[in-house]
Structure 1
Amino acid sequence: MILVKKEGVILRKTPLDFESQAVLNPAVIKQGNLVCMFYRAVSKKNYSTIGFCQLNGPLEITKRLNLPILTPMGDTESRGIEDPRIVKIDGCYYLTYTAFDGFNAMGSLATSLDLKTFKRHGIIVPVISFPEFKSLAQHKCKLNEKYSRFAHDKTIITMNTRLLVWDKDLVFFPRRINNQLYFLHRIKPDIQIASVNELSDLNKLFWTNYLLNFNHNILLTPKYDHEISYIGGGCPPIETTEGWLVIYHGVHDTTKGYVYSACAALLDLENPEKEIARLPYPLFKPETAWELSGEVDSVCFPSGTAIFGDTLYIYYGAADEQIACASVNLSALLAELSTFRITIL
């Protein structure tokens, strides 16, 4: 098994109103020796905004804003913006997050050229009810019954709000691949993948055709015990000589509730729709006090990484209350993954 070092908690909640309940699930991007962190900040009424801090090196926080850098806008974000991820593509920063209106949780996008001002693009995942989704997705093959089980609602209209398929964990790849923008998203229980020439292609017709071929767009499905309930996107994919390294989360339902672990897989560099390796055990799981007890117990939720030398630092939400970091030797992790390469017969 690969050796992972738990570096400990690096960011905690404060008495400030916007982050007095929790800080968790950060987006991370490295600039030279600095690490910029955009994190989910939760107020006492479970209302989320995006906070910002800066690290010198992987672990030392040297700057932290006293106000959110991003706050909810419009009806689709009326109950908060959650769980950001960030990449830089062609000189532009893509910050993805979940927009929550109290009923629906949907993958959304904001872009920036300077990490200070952001342009909102709104929801970019399919806006569709579960019955509509199921009808399209089963057009060519039977849908895994777990999709129905995890649907938040299938038929009911509540308080004049249309209940939609929850589509979260929206994560872009950090460069174009074969001139395409690729991204991961998650409709439980699997991780799906999509690609477009431009963001403007993400319209109703695109998603209708995508869902009509839904089975071909499922990238990763739960496979091992630690992820058997469902999985979801985590950190932005990392380009390596061995393939795209994907650190994602896997969930196992136990008698004491769900356990969220950090997991690792490799995708083909030129064809990221192809899984080539996966660890058959968690990269790391809840073991310490700060991971086992919090707003939600037993959670390690990876969402951002930074590489210093040959060390990969993985930033994660710990028990949905604070932000912690774990580190692993990148070469050793890739070597370990190579021993579990998938053989295609």
Structure 2
Amino acid sequence: MTSQHHAHAEFPLGPFRPYEHNPILSPQGDSWESANVYNPAAVVKDGKVVLLYRAHAADLVSHVGLATSDDGIHFERHPDPVLSPTEPYEEFGAEDPRVTEIDGTYYLTYTGWDRTSALLCLATSTDLYTWTKHGPLFPDFNTFLPVGNGQDAPWSKAGAILPVPIDGRYLMYFGEGSIYHAWSDDLLHWTPCSNDEPLMVPTPGTFGELLVEVGPQPIITNNGLILMLHNAAVKNPDGSVYYTCGQLLFDPADPTTILAQMNQPWLAPSTYEDTHGLVSNVTFVEGLVFFEDKWLVYYGQSDSTLAVATYEVGDRYSKLGD
């Protein structure tokens, strides 16, 4: 494995504190981002934070927009989407992007939605504005198989690629419902594990008892371990859902076995925007960057607006007696 690691990453990463003036992006105009703006991927390029975010009008057909920032908080939007539905498998939406940069190429995973199947798709770019689509990655997979999703149609979402190779191969964690993994030699063609061998399934009595789903791209921590953030949900008695965020830790020598996990969320709905929207009571993280000596996570608020939370390196989770 490469010796590359991040000197400012430890488990658990944080504490993250939501920005007091969230949301940082909201719907605007009367076209492709007029109704909802949420669920952003994030990357640092040329000294700026770049967000690739999901947005749609009242028709609910999602596109991927782009916004840039000098400080990670205040963003300027590109006027047009950079990725839009063009293929039958994504006819009704290109949703929920996640991005990893490797040797000057950006690998964007997103969900293609045709109103029957959600399919994990891949696109690549060298400038973040022009994308080449490579189609669905796992067209026969169903990441809800361990717990059931009420249909037999294929279903896969949420691909997060580790930016450094392990023994010459690249690793992706993926899945909504349950979490799986896949390997690649070239970052374009991926071989998933068996559909019968999830890494993580929903656990009754936890904040992920309904479903677990991969968050942003995983990172290598300061002692070589792999840190992955994830989203998790419970179902309320009235049938609504409540989405929070967790963390997992893996050994690079055995990246398919969880070493540690947080037993309580590190981010949960708390503000009005977090608790009111298209799907209420949701904080859904998909973007993570280290920028100007701090970690920034970007997340959707109730599938309606976009927010940021910050971890200043050196800050600590509270202890008894502090």
TM norm structure 1: 0.81
Matched, 1:114 2:127: yes
How big is the alpha-carbon RMSD for the aligned residues of Structure 1 and Structure 2?
A: 2.3
Q: Determine whether 1:265 maps to 2:242.
A: no
Structure 2 match to 1:4: 16
Residue aligning to 2:90: 77
- 1:173 is the counterpart of 2:156: no
CA gap of 1:314–1:197, structure 2 versus 1, over 3 A, is same
1:96 to 94, 109, 113: 109
Tell me which moved more, 193-202 or 254-263: 193-202
Q: Distance in 2 between matches of 1:270 and 1:23?
A: 38
Residue aligning to 1:150: 149
* 1:222, distance to aligned residue in structure 2 (A): 2.9
CA shift for structure 1 position 199: 4.5
Change (3 A) 1:44 1:238: same
Unpaired stretches in structure 1, ≥5 consecutive residues: 135-142, 155-163, 337-345
Residue of structure 2 in register with 1:276 after alignment? 259
Matched, 1:195 2:175: no
2:158 counterpart SS class = strand
Query: What is the rounded CA distance, in whole Å, between the counterparts of 1:127 and 1:331 in structure 2?
Result: 45
Q: Aligned letter for 1:185?
A: F
CA distance in 1, matches of 2:128, 2:277: 30
Q: Note closer, same or farther for the CA distance 1:64–1:309 as it changes in structure 2 (3 Å cut).
A: closer
Conserved 8 A contact 1:173-1:181: yes
Of Structure 1 and Structure 2, the greater helix share is in 1
Determine which of 272, 275, 280 is the counterpart of 1:289. Answer: 272
Q: Secondary structure at the match of 2:23?
A: strand
**Deviation at residue 310 of structure 1 after TM alignment:** 4.4
The DSSP-based 3-state class of the residue aligned with 2:255 is coil
Q: Any conservation in 2 of the 1:310–1:331 contact (CA below 8 Å)?
A: no
- Structure 1 CA distance, aligned partners of 2:233 and 2:113? 22
Take 2:280 and 2:214, find their aligned partners in 1: how far apart are those partners? 20
Q: Does the 8 Å contact 2:44/2:291 carry over to 1?
A: no
Q: What's the TM-score once normalised by structure 2's chain length? A: 0.86
Q: Deviations for 1:215-248, whole angstroms, at most 9, x for unmatched residues?
A: 2xx2223346211111001111122114222111
Secondary structure in structure 2 of the residue aligned to 1:220:
coil
Gap change, CA 1:331 and 1:228, over 3 Å in 2: farther
Structure 2 counterpart of 1:231, one-letter code:
V
Distance in 2 between residues matched to 1:108 and 1:233, nearest whole Å: 15
* 1:226 and 2:207 matched: yes
Preserved contact between residue 13 and residue 21 of structure 1 (Cα < 8 Å): yes
- Counterpart CA distance in 2 for 1:262 and 1:235 is 11
Q: In 2, are the aligned partners of 1:11 and 1:322 still within 8 Å (CA)? A: yes
In the TM superposition, residue 330 of structure 1 has moved relative to its aligned partner by 5.0
Mapped contact 2:269–2:275 kept (Cα < 8 A): yes
Within a 5 Å distance, the mapping from 1:1-345 to structure 2 comes to: 3-7=15-19, 8-61=22-75, 63-127=76-140, 144=146, 146=147, 149-151=148-150, 153-154=151-152, 164-188=153-177, 190-199=178-187, 201-202=189-190, 206=191, 210-211=193-194, 214-215=196-197, 218-223=198-203, 225-242=206-223, 243-256=225-238, 257-330=240-313
Using the alignment, how far apart are the partners of 2:244 and 2:283 within structure 1?
5
Deviation at 1:16, TM superposition (A): 3.2
Q: Which has the higher contact order (CA 8 A, sep 6+)?
A: 2
- Where does the alignment leave 5 or more consecutive residues of structure 2 unmatched? 1-11
Q: Is the 8 A contact 1:58 1:306 kept in 2?
A: no
Report the 3-state secondary structure (helix = DSSP H, G, I; strand = E; otherwise coil) of the residue aligned with 1:290.
Answer: helix
Describe the SS at the equivalent of 1:273: strand
Residue 123 of structure 1 and its aligned partner are, at CA, apart by 0.3
Query: Residues of 2 paired with 1:240 and 1:248: CA distance?
Result: 16
| Structure-1 separation of matches of 2:275 and 2:176 | 26
Go from structure 1 to structure 2 and tell me whether the alpha carbon gap of 1:198 and 1:295 turns closer, same or farther (over 3 Å shift).
Answer: same
Give per-residue Cα distances to partners, 1:252-288, cap 9 Å, x unaligned.
1112411000111212134322222111100010011
* C-alpha separation in 2, matches of 1:19 and 1:77: 17
